[in-house]
Amino acid sequence: MASLSLRFTLLLTALLPLTFTGVGGVALPRAPADVYDYIVVGGGAAGSIVASRLSENSSVSVLLIEGGPSNEGVTNAIIPYIYPRLYRSTYDWNFTTVAQPGLNGRATAYLRGHILGGSSSINGMTLNRAPAADWDQIASFTGDSSFSWNNIVQYIQKNEAFKRPEGSRFDNAYDPAVHGREGPIGNSLVEDDTWITEPTLTGAEEVGIPHIRDVNGGQPLGISWQQFAVKDGARSSAATGYINEQDRARSNLHVLLNSKVSKVLPGPGGTTDSAPLHFTTVEYTDGNGNTQTAVASREIIISTGVMATPGLLMRSGLGPRAQLQAAGITTLLDIPAVGQYLQDRCGISAIWSVNNTDTDDTIDRNSTYFNELLQEWNDHRTGRLTQTGYRHMIWARVPEDAPILSTIDDPSSGPTCPHYEIYPANKWAGTSPRPATGNFVTMSIFVSASNVRGSVTLDTSNQMNPIIDPKYLQSDWDMYVMRTAVRRAAEYMNAPAWRRWNATPVFDPSILDDDSALDQWIHTNAFGGVHAVGSARMGPPNSPPGTDVVGPDFRVKGVRGLRIVDTSVFPFVMNAHTMGPTYIMAEKAADLIRRGL
């Protein structure tokens, strides 16, 4: 009966009308006021935080406009294990890249959350912060020391509610000194005692991968227990943590759902030839398809994400002049950097069959077993549906004497930063269909220090649609790192701890001995990493006009009244799944705005 109830809840959620959630959950077609102190465009991982933190001050009014529906009652966005069911659904923006030469001409899906909480409501809940050196590099690049690791720790503490795992086997699995306890976002380890833990950790030791006590301690090179945004057995997202029922009860916070922002508009007075343009107005289409406007008396904060923010800027007349002219848009300010520094992490799945029936493949194949687990989750919020199939993470570098480092500058932030990630899964986690029989372990592999820059441009035939070109694997460096990572994963899976389970690659292992064959396998099977940044990148306060989009204060350069707070502002891809760094950046931005900086 419980599983039937959950299925009904999901169906009911899909049928709910387009609504505005205001005070007390009142359903309205549009925002009840015309003027707010702050308007936050986009209720994702960053926008939810900014809106929530600003509205903690009861003397200011905040409107949060989200393009997707509510997260509440969406079963697939609550139970951790079944999160992949959200992909390519109504809760996904369903973006697709252009054909990628580095993927043998394939286009690839680019998953982004079309739901309150954004991608924090549909992703795999992996919660890591990036190495200390990455944050120090941002501080160096922007000329602002407040972005250094030592200075952003306060925002980590503010964001996180870490749950200490129980049992002596976790004594060296985390460092309590680097975690917050009272923040809105839950952070936890997978505590079940599954077979895969022993070969995962022992195999690493056998091939010389050091154990790291805490992946979030700033020095991630090695293997560690991974941490997840899971609280009390359920997803902990920006929506559940920052825009929950208690937050929405604030009389000064209005949350508008299912509303698509088309552009932001300057108020009267000020031109690019005299005073800077002052942006005051947001134009959006409400849930009934009507065009509406709302005015911000103080600031508009754009938080629509790495793929949508460039388009919003360009539709508003802010961006590369040639692109705007081609789209028939009047250029208000020529900003060549808009959409032009996109950077992502490309991935691939290398899979081994194992002689162990306790993999999570059984959950995905056996509906009776799944329903038993669903009953347990519904009754107690415990069991295997509280995890995602992943438990540990390996971060590593290419050898320091690698010949390529003598011809190419190392794009990482330094010797303590990884070049690639290996993420073991207790199941088939490939892009191709799972075989009908067998049990598997997947090494999800990502190039984490790319030297390639792509772009997000405007589709002149449909200006709401981004043209996404990440340029995956289109450099010698990225291909070298991917080859190195795949070979290291194979070496790891050949360790005695894995041989006990007869770990056997499902791909032809002979490709590991031939660069050309391995390259072909990579180009055929790689996929986008969905951790992109940089499309409205941050730069120093006094950098040449148009070389970046925002300064360290998150303000759009050359105009007034407009800030950007989302993953698009990161100047380079982080050695992390981007949710964690985005949370940190959003907490910092909200603090700046509240202090009037």
Q: Are 442 and 429 in contact (CB under 8 A)?
A: yes
CA 22, chain centre distance (Å): 27
CA distance 539 to 142: 5
Indicate which residue of 114, 179, 523, 531 is catalytic.
531
d(CA 121, CA 429): 20
pLDDT at 25: 41
Contact 321, 337 (CB under 8 A): no
Domain boundaries, the chain: 90-109+167-237+343-528
- Contact at 8 Å (CB) between 57 and 291? no
Q: 261: annotated binding-site residue?
A: yes
CATH domain 90-109+167-237+343-528 topology: Glucose Oxidase; domain 3 (3.30.560)
**Structure confidence at residue 7 (pLDDT):** 37
* Residues with pLDDT less than 70, the chain: 1-29, 269-275
Per-residue pLDDT at 499: 97
**Taking the alpha carbons of 505, 510, 514, 518 in that order, is the dihedral positive or negative?**
negative
Predicted structure pTM score: 0.94
Give residue 170's pLDDT: 93
Q: Are 271 and 113 in contact (CB under 8 A)?
A: no
577 tagged catalytic:
yes
**Catalytic residue status for 531:** yes
Q: What is the DSSP letter of 429?
A: -
Q: Check 114, 392, 523, 577 and give the catalytic one.
A: 577
